[in-house]
Amino acid sequence: MDVTIKTALISVSDKTGVVDFAQALARLGVKIISTGGTAKKLTEAGVNVVSVDAVTGFPEMMDGRVKTLHPKIHGALLGLRDKVEHTEAMAQRGIEPIDLVCVNLYPFEATVAKPQCTLEEAIENIDIGGPSMIRSAAKNHKFVTVVTYPGQYTQVVDQMRDNHGAVSESLRSELARAAFGLTAAYDAAISKYLNANAGVEYPDRVSIALTKESSLRYGENPHQTAALYRLPVSAEPSVCNGKLLEGGTEVSFNNLLDANAAFELVKEFDEPAAVVVKHLNPCGCAVDDDICVAYRKAYEGDVVSAFGGIIALNRKVDVELARTIMESYSRFGKALGASGFFAEVIIAPEFEEDAIEIIRTLKTWGGRVRLIETGPIDHAKIDTGECDVRCIIGGLLLQKRDLAGWEPEALTYPTEAKPTPEQLEDLRMAWLVAKHTKSNTIVLVKNKRILGVGAGQMNRVESGLLAMKQAGEEAKGAVMASDAFFPFPDNVENAAQAGVAAIIQPGGSKKDDEVIAAADRLGVVMVFTGKRHFKH
């Protein structure tokens, strides 16, 4: 059933496009009711407006807290036009039906995102009348059109123009669904803020407000559907907040997971760093004073696994770096046994225009690669309050993000031999890479680049053997990191046999004494961090 719009109530905080919208409604013969700042703006633009207090017979009061919470407003929205009892009650009380409500809400999330926001300011930006009108209109969308986003204005006006001033049932239903989504997200943001302000980490009820960013081709596998949703007001440089540059093929579910894994690791380093990730695990990582050298060293860490991988960089991609990436196979990889090279995603803080042109044209695969630009990496913008959310069937597991990084003041040195400054730098890198690798994990590093990674194995010994096999002869003089403690000396013995010179691990095993004794007997340096980095 189509419903002709005769009367509209407009009251918005975000006034983007509202004058044009109101003018278009007025030209279609719609009577417009409005409040406060919105009424003033529309009047100044020449739109004839009826004030809310003229409708209710009751003045706005209490600094605007009370203005639309009135039976003549909510009766006009909730009354069923096809039910005699409702229409008779409306007529008896002089309630004129309102056919369209255009409301968006006080900017609560933007307000609380400001560093100096006080509790009082936050409370004053909790909208009450707006959500009430939205919910009333959305509940009665059989008769009422509810508009909550400036992006909906054109759609409504176009349909009214094409339909003699009426809005279709399907559009009213669509707008009502969006409206309830808005109020749910708004309440979730308020609840989150108030809990955080009270120091409540895990409240009895949790609502996660997300906004759909895009549909994806499919999920992890082609038979699974998928979409990307964004958390509100996150300023942290990330894959989700990054800009997907033009060109390339559509980004996929797996691309986003892998790009996130790669970028979160490269963010750990202040010096120029490059990471190559395959199936959520780093197969290459290196740091250097020169970002091009760092990339080359990262790629050379495992040229076979790098095929079809994700490249993450913490510096701008300029022409030289673009050429280095695109020529990886011909310049470095072929001699190391690679059968070819291409990247699924390159993610970096910035891309020069000329560098983009090189990526897109130098190799045939460059036209397909997805380029994600995140903006500058600012560690001050890391959202320490955001939770890591994992799904299990029927529920969610929430935990605080693992933001523990390199903490030199917490290190202890239980072995007789102590690390050299150079070894300590490699141990730092190995430890940070282990943090971002699936457990059980062993990482070998030398000269600030990965030599071998053993990830996701059911026992730590197997992970160590895989890492050492990949490193080969280069394991001599390398350092090793383990994301969790050694329950037995076996990994230390295998590492020493391969020539590993130093090991970093959390410590805390019942058999630490045996592990330390083995290291001393074999002349291996050991460092304890006191923290583990399981990543399931």
Residues belonging to the active site: 139, 279
Residues 503/423, Cβ–Cβ less than 8 Å: no
Name the β-bridge partners of 162: none
Assigned token pair, 450: 């990965």
Q: Report which of 73, 81, 71 is spatially closest to residue 51, judged by C-alpha positions.
A: 73
Residues 5/28, Cβ–Cβ less than 8 Å: yes
The 3-class SS string of 82-95 reads CCHHHHHHHHHCCC
Spatial neighbors of 204 by CB under 8 A, at least 6 apart, are none
Separation CA 121–CA 67 (nearest Å): 20
The one-letter amino acid at 292: C
462-to-251, 453, 512 alpha-carbon distances in Å:
34, 11, 20
Q: Report which of 324, 332, 282, 327 is spatially closest to residue 305, judged by C-alpha positions.
A: 282
Find the largest Cα–Cα distance for the chain: 96
Separation CA 144–CA 59 (nearest Å): 25
Assigned token pair, 109: 């999330």
Q: Report which of 470, 464, 436 is spatially closest to residue 452, judged by C-alpha positions.
A: 470
Cβ-based neighbour number of residue 268 at 10 Å: 21
Assigned token pair, 340: 């070819």
Cβ-based neighbour number of residue 361 at 10 Å: 11
Separation CA 249–CA 8 (nearest Å): 44
Spatial neighbors of 116 by CB under 8 A, at least 6 apart, are none
Between helices 84-92 and 71-78, what is the axis angle to 10°? 160
Angle at the Cα of 163 from the Cα atoms of 183 and 14, rounded to 5 degrees: 30
Residues 451/474, Cβ–Cβ less than 8 Å: yes
Separation CA 300–CA 358 (nearest Å): 22
Supply the Cα-derived Rg of the chain in whole angstroms.
30
Q: Report which of 446, 400, 413, 425 is spatially closest to residue 530, judged by C-alpha positions.
A: 413
